[in-house]
Structure 1
């Protein structure tokens, strides 16, 4: 029974990590521009960030939910950021290959900091964990900070494994794209641009509806 917490944490993390987001795109981009090893540093740090978000959602789900509803500028900021970064990548895809180097996006030298920051500063993911934990408490089993430490540790280990496992497969996919295209990044930039703009549009629709 206790292993159910490990399995369930893994499954919830995988479901939350599958949709393309900032961390996924960073892993794909790094795997193509550099290698899978560099991308793995982002994934490992993002797993820690995911645990932090899940812990906050577990500890104060109602307070966090109210906070984001009362401070809608946070959601708007991320929607605009995704849109602008998406447009930037679409612009990169339109630049001739020989000229694209001078416009290259300068990422932080610290892959660990990049992965942790992208995972942590992500309001939609916090909302996802609030919803996931609420549904778990209602329909499956009790999951609160009052649970035995052993079950909580297994749950968080499951989250970490699910997150980094999903990101690893995204990294392998990005590496496969790089090999197929002989190192050309034009298609990748277009994919990332379209994905980010799509995320921005869907988040905008969701924000307006709510």
Structure 2
């Protein structure tokens, strides 16, 4: 029995939300953008990130076995994840908070491009979708093949983008509330985000060392 269109959309959106909620470079960048720029800037960033999630999840569907083998047996790929998190964490940690005049100087195009670049560089997206696809298939929620029907693909990818966008906007909304109630947070947010990202990178590095 084929799953209903609503189920395909709902499951992909739910999976996207679950993958976006844990701290990572994209949602923390949205927090940083909201605090140091504005909610509108975070909105443009979030749209870009949601759009990039579409081809990343498509790659996981279409080239699942090939990508899975590459991720499992390539030390360089795992090392890149560590370097990426530590590197972007250092960038945040060393970045100075923007002054009020500087916040208005940047355009929405820069926010959109930043969202594209951070999302493209994010090393966790494709492995996450490979795991989700395997889980959905093993749990018999969705039987996803390497060549799914076009309607299935459109519904699934639409749910992915919607889940990503909604979760990132939720982060932006919470960040706006925090700034209104505690203005001093904006002065320390870059360092807080930097420490979190570097911590994630170091944990990944320790896991890699234990696996060797």
Q: TM-score, normalised by structure 1?
A: 0.85
Cα distance in 2 for partners of 1:21, 1:46 equals: 13
Report the CA distance shift for 1:74/1:153 in structure 2 as closer, same or farther (over 3 A): same
Structure 2 CA distance for partners of 1:98 and 1:10, relative to 1, 3 Å: closer
Aligned to 2:173: 172
**CA–CA distance in 1 between the matches of 2:148 and 2:68?**
22
Structure 1 unmatched runs, 5+: none
Aligned twin of 1:126: 126
CA distance in 1, matches of 2:92, 2:78: 21
CA distance in 1, matches of 2:172, 2:115: 13
Q: Offset of 1:109 from its aligned partner?
A: 5.7
Q: Which residue of 1 aligns with 2:84?
A: 81
**C-alpha displacement at 1:62, in angstroms?**
1.1
Q: How far apart are 1:20 and its partner, in Å?
A: 1.0
| 1:108–1:114 Cα contact (<8 Å) kept | no
- Count of aligned pairs: 203
* Superposed counterparts of 1:118-197, under 5 Å: 118-139=118-139, 140-182=141-183, 185-197=186-198
Structure 2 counterpart of 1:58:
61
2:41 maps to which residue? 38
1:48 Cα deviation from its structure 2 partner: 1.1
- Is the 1:54–1:126 Cα contact (8 Å) retained in structure 2? yes
Alignment TM-score, normalising by the size of structure 2: 0.84
User: Once superposed, which parts of structure 1, at least 4 consecutive aligned residues long, lie more than 6 Å away?
Assistant: none
Distance in 2 (CA, whole Å) between partners of 1:124 and 1:116 is 15
SS in 2 for 1:144: coil
**Deviation digits for residues 170-195 of structure 1 (CA, Å, limit 9, x no counterpart):** 11122222222336523312320221
- Could you report, residue by residue, the CA deviation over 1:121-178 in whole angstroms, capped at 9, with x for unpaired residues? 2222211111111121222221124333222211111111100000001111222222
Q: Secondary structure at the match of 1:142?
A: coil
Q: Which moved more, 1:139-148 or 1:47-56?
A: 139-148
- 1:208 corresponds to: 209
Unmatched runs of 5 consecutive residues or more in structure 2: none
Per mean C-alpha deviation after superposition, the further-off stretch among 195-204 and 41-50 is 195-204
User: 1:47, 1:155 → 2: CA distance?
Assistant: 13
Cα pair 2:62 2:147 within 8 Å, conserved:
no
Counterpart of 1:10 in structure 2 is: 13
